[in-house]
Structure 1
Amino acid sequence: MNTPIDTFYRHLREWFTVFLPRQRAVSPHTITACRQAWNLLLGYVDNSRGIRLEKVTFAVLDRALIAGFLDDMTTTRGWTATTYNQRLACIRSFFHYAATAEPTLAMHLADIAGIPQKKSPAKLPVCHLTTTAVTALLAAPDPATKAGLRDQFFMILMYDLAARDAEMLALTVGDINTQRRSAELVGKGSKPRRLPITPDTAAHFRRYVETFHPDGDLVQPLFYTIHDHRKTPMSDDNVARFLRQHADTARQACPEMPGKVHPHMLRHSRAMHLYQAGMPLPILTEWLGHADPETTLIYAHADTEMKRAALEKATQGHNVSPSPPPIWHDRQDIIQRLCGLT
């Protein structure tokens, strides 16, 4: 006969190994995020409540404990309302699965259903770096060292692609094609997209793989750490750490560097710079992998400089010189690569 402890861990194991990947076909990124959420929750139970992991049951994970966990993560880890609500949805999803598989567990689902979502504050302007700050940041690592070479190439590639952190960490060596000068990314919802990279980025890639992937194994994670003599994908915590470190170095020579720099800021910066350079919003939507075109409008709303320039042109009468053509003018090859047509 199964004990309450056996029941909890059996359902949790089946939720991770069967329900999420096979029945729901959710992306590996989502499964990883759910694993991280549950690792934090179980760690909270152990550390703050003194309940050993082998003693955790559905009854232990009541509304008060889960609400306390979410509030603690908000305080100690700086979770935003969006992160708070995503982690709550992850926990509820498991309880819903368990209640469906075993109706006697529905009482526990009803208990945590009373935890309200956190309201998101009004959206702030997009935080992005100026081109000067980006240049200073990319120049901060010392490529003569192995760690500096890795950190610099990671930031160069992330900026060039305007990629998400998770998309970068999921790249394999074979995802970069230097002959075609393109990169294959897998975004949210496991949606693939192909993006062009610059010749300079392709050259940085060749130098990077000569040092970190001399064996030429195309299926190895592009950015990795060594665990038990194996290459495993680098963690997002490691990325955030070295980005802060290099931003602190760059700030000494570049006053434009913000006080707080995080990985997603490189994505925002590249997107803003592409928009300012003339990339139409529909193409920018494809570039960023946004499912909803409305999401991309944040760059149009946030770009004060372009609004100021438009205002100046409108007040200068008819003697306004024509705007320079956008960088994508007459470059159908780039647009076709971006949209996966070649």
Structure 2
Amino acid sequence: MLKKINEHKMFFSFVSDFLFLHLKDHEHKSNNTVVAYRQGLNSFREFTKEVYGKGVDKLTFELVTPDMVREYLKWLIEKKGSTITTRNHRLTAIKQYLQYCSDRDISLAPQYIKISKIKHVTVRSNKRNWMTRDAIRVILEQPPKTKIGIRDRFFMIFLYGTGARVSEALNVRLKDLEIATKDPFVRLLGKGNKPRCVPLLDITVENLDYYLSVYHPNGSPGDYLFYTVIKGTKDSMSVANAERFIKKYGEAARRACSQVPENVYPHLFRHSYGAHLYRMGFSLPVIAKLLGHESLETTEIYAHTDAEMINEAFRKVEESLQSQNSLKLKEKKWKLADEETLAKLYGLK
């Protein structure tokens, strides 16, 4: 018979081990994945502190019930304005954390089982989550003919020409490029630190050569392909910087072309790459491999991306018919610290 949950066991007591020993060292998850889980658990901490007055040193496992978690998910949507996708990610963080905790302490297993039954909300893909070729062309015409403009334009060409996630593109170093071969390609490091090779289109290679002559005339293999220089220090470009200029060019392009979406962001180039490959006749398994998708279900969104494609399929069917998808001591010591300090000590910050 399982023993009763320890009433004095702090809910966040396993966070540090979960993030750095389990996810990082044992599961070999990427830094971005570890950060995402930490943000999710920290969000739950903010909720319990704000709504229940229970900070890191007050929230015990016994207090975390399925009803509390459901209330937290509702709080995310109604109070924080989070999307359904974010809501689902936060729920996954709690479930995965509790699963790890139950492995460490068997008395927590019943609690994990109950909370694991809380369902994720189905996210319906937008009718148009990709851009037309005309929209992309107009966006690429927006950067000025300056050094910064050359960088910005090529960055967008690279995203569209490789289908890379923005984080993958920003992590590319010169040594990851193989362009002096018959079939040029780039090595990308995807989710879970899984590498993949993506062929480079002729137009991408042509623009890459020019970009390298401007930004890497004497580049070292270890240099980041895309970088910024702040106070004399060269480092990889930030995601926020990429999002900022892409949004700016998108807004400018929309004034010239109604096909440009109201909100243009880096991942939209990735979706466009996948959608256009599908329309060109590439199979879903091939597209999944190029995009680094672990499951074909993720890739299937490109099989029904717009009304035009659906209507075309129906026309073909019709024509065919006509002719024939262990921290107790630390807990006691930390009770005197403030909430932010406690959060850092538990690995939440």
Same-fold status (TM-score > 0.5): yes
Q: Which residue of 2 aligns with 1:141?
A: 143
| Residue 25 (structure 1) shift | 2.6
Q: Which residue of 2 aligns with 1:325?
A: none
Match runs of 1:116-155 below 5 Å: 116-146=118-148, 148-155=149-156
Q: Which amino acid aligns with 2:278?
A: Y
Match runs of 1:24-35 below 5 Å: 24-35=27-38
Q: Which residue of 1 aligns with 2:25?
A: 22
Q: Which residue of 2 aligns with 1:329?
A: none
Could you tell me which of 201, 204, 208 is aligned with 1:205? 208
Report how many aligned residue pairs link the two structures.
Answer: 309
Q: Which residue of 1 aligns with 2:333?
A: none
| Residue 92 (structure 1) shift | 2.2
Q: Which residue of 1 aligns with 2:293?
A: 290
| Residue 296 (structure 1) shift | 3.4
Which gives a bigger RCO, structure 1 or 2 (Cα 8 Å, sep 6+)?
2
Q: Which residue of 1 aligns with 2:159?
A: 158
1:231 paired with 2:231, answer no
Return the alpha-carbon distance in structure 2 between the equivalents of residues 133 and 232 of structure 1. 28
Could you tell me which of 283, 300, 310 is aligned with 1:304? 310
Could you tell me which of 82, 90, 94 is aligned with 2:93? 90
| Residue 133 (structure 1) shift | 0.2
1:26-61 superposed Cα distances (whole Å, 9 cap, x missing partner):
3444223213323444455667777776x4644597
| Residue 154 (structure 1) shift | 1.9
Structure 2: segments with no counterpart, 5+ residues = 1-7, 324-349
Return the alpha-carbon distance in structure 2 between the equivalents of residues 292 and 52 of structure 1. 38
Task: Compare 290-299 and 129-138 and name the one that shifted more.
Answer: 290-299
Return the alpha-carbon distance in structure 1 between the equivalents of residues 195 and 124 of structure 2. 31
Return the alpha-carbon distance in structure 1 between the equivalents of residues 217 and 62 of structure 2. 50
Q: Which amino acid aligns with 2:144?
A: D
Return the alpha-carbon distance in structure 1 between the equivalents of residues 136 and 111 of structure 2. 49
Cα pair 2:166 2:267 within 8 Å, conserved: yes
Q: Which amino acid aligns with 1:142?
A: P
| Residue 168 (structure 1) shift | 2.4
Q: Compute the TM-score of the two structures, normalised by the length of structure 1.
A: 0.72
1:95-126 superposed Cα distances (whole Å, 9 cap, x missing partner):
3323432456668647x717722321544435
Cα pair 2:247 2:265 within 8 Å, conserved: yes
Q: Percent identity?
A: 28
| Residue 185 (structure 1) shift | 1.6
Cα pair 1:223 1:234 within 8 Å, conserved: no
Structure 1: segments with no counterpart, 5+ residues = 318-342
| Residue 196 (structure 1) shift | 1.2
Return the alpha-carbon distance in structure 2 between the equivalents of residues 306 and 241 of structure 1. 36
Return the alpha-carbon distance in structure 1 between the equivalents of residues 277 and 21 of structure 2. 41
Cα pair 1:126 1:268 within 8 Å, conserved: no
Return the alpha-carbon distance in structure 2 between the equivalents of residues 92 and 43 of structure 1. 17
Could you tell me which of 263, 267, 288 is aligned with 1:264? 267
